[in-house]
Every structure is written in structure tokens, then in C-alpha cells.
Amino acid sequence: MWKEMSKRIKNILYKALLLNGKMEYALYEWELKEHIDYWKRGMKKDNEEFVFVVTEKNGDAAMLLITKNDELFINEKARKQLQLYWKSNYEKNIKYLLPTMVKNLSNEILSVNGVKFINEDCVRFDG
């Protein structure tokens, strides 16, 4: 059961994050919106450049990206912003993070990823 659920979540995230699939605004409102202030505080405390959060429910995905300037990007705009930040490393970074995202979501934990830039080619993830 758990293995099937993990595979289903992985497929949904893969489509949403790597195949430019549609994300659901209602899911963002239901699961992510209420935690924005908490994530902003954590991001500032940890001195991160940005934080992005991914969730999945009933076959739908949603994403939120918060910058250190308190800008919010939701769903497709969040994905686009993350692609701009990571340029040619977007696919590699998502594939690297995907197992952890799937594990968190399979355990009903939102996948929260804080990111620090070490230099232009090196990123550090705090999850």
C-alpha cells in the first residue's frame, strides 16, 4: 500500500515539476496558504534565499515559493521562478529532491525545502 502511494505521488510530482503539468490553486489555499508566515519566519531565521513547498492530495499538486523579499509565487509561477533560480540545474535538483519530497508526502508531511546559494553553481538544501 505504502509503495503504491509513493509511486502515485512520485508520478504526480514528476508531471507537475518536470513535465510542466497543471497545479491546483484550491489545493494551495487548502494546505499551504495558512503556513506562509511560519515559513517566512523560518526562512529569515535560517538565512535562506528562498523556500519552496510542495504538496499533493487526491492526484493534484500545489507549490508555493517564498523569496527572502517576501514575494510569493504560487503553482506554475512558483515552478517558473524556481526554474529561473536554478537555470540549467532545475531538472537535476528536482530529481535529487524528488525522493525526499515523495517520502515526506507519503507520510502526510508537507515537503518544505529551504535553499541557500553557496555560489552560482552550488546550492545547499535545508529541508
Look at strands 50-57 and 72-74 and give their pairing: unpaired
Q: Identify the DSSP state of 1.
A: -
| Domain spans in the chain, listed from the N-terminal domain onward | 2-126
pLDDT of residue 116: 83
Please give the sequence-ordered ranges of beta strands (E in DSSP) within the chain, or none if there are none.
50-57, 60-67, 72-74, 111-119, 122-126
So what's the pLDDT on residue 78? 98
Cα(26)–Cα(1) distance, integer angstroms? 27
Residue 3: its pLDDT value, please?
Answer: 82
* pLDDT confidence of residue 108: 93
Rounded to the nearest angstrom, the gap between the alpha carbon of residue 20 and the centroid of all alpha carbons in its chain is 14
Read off the pTM: 0.89
Could you list the mean pLDDT of each consecutive 10-residue stretch along the chain, which spans 127 residues?
Answer: 85 96 97 96 93 96 96 98 92 95 95 80 51
Instruction: Quote the radius of gyration of the chain (alpha carbons, Å).
Output: 14
pLDDT of residue 2: 61
Residue 102: predicted pLDDT: 96
Tell me what pLDDT residue 88 has. Answer: 87
Q: What is the pLDDT of residue 97?
A: 95
Distance CA 55, CA 25 (A): 11
